[in-house]
Structure 1
């Protein structure tokens, strides 16, 4: 569902979303971000999930962590007091797989079944994680999880990347 992001990345995304600089991200702004990465919620669903009309940076980080923990918890059990306590065991693995497939599709811009460093860079720039003069090398990010050394991430490699990031 979510790509692995560092705390610095999340701070940068939060700052980009907080257009008026009040230290709060509204549900509209949060929903805009989620839609751009392929996650669909109605504002009502998002409000019931979050429980308030806006989030400060700590709540935003907790929201990301909660969703990431759910993503990495294939058993469907809820550890660490996640926001959504209504997630059941039945079908959770299928839901995780569907969410991962959606996230993979967000990064696989040309639909060829692989994520290239160019596609990764394009999506991260669109999300405001990478700036034009950023020194971050997307090839290196991919290389870490590219088990067959073809310079691309297939779905299995992407899945490994997502689950490994949520465990650490």
Structure 2
């Protein structure tokens, strides 16, 4: 599924096809094994850095609002009566969010410099990610919105 994105990298959506990575903390990897990487990243995005108590009753679970009742039932079964330290997951979230943009560059639908501007990172760093890592190879390219337009500028070409 293609995603739309805004100008800030932190506001890029978490892709549905996100996959766990070996750099993830053990708790995130364990949660992803039970409820999937997308739901795990949603929880980390919403509750990063907090200790969260997991009640046995999934209807009282803080996870129910984030990932739905079905996955809250699974989490209650696995982690019931535990207090979980939700990791910050900053690197995992950023890696997942930028995968669609990197996939666009790999598919030759966007230049490296344009992608670097959208992700707000140096061209050299993005070029290294593309040429020396496998990041974005298994991701679906993101759907591009038009570039943000400065309302103060006149439209030169109709």
- Specify if TM > 0.5: no
Greater relative CO, 1 or 2 (CA 8 Å, sep 6+):
2
TM-score (norm 2): 0.30
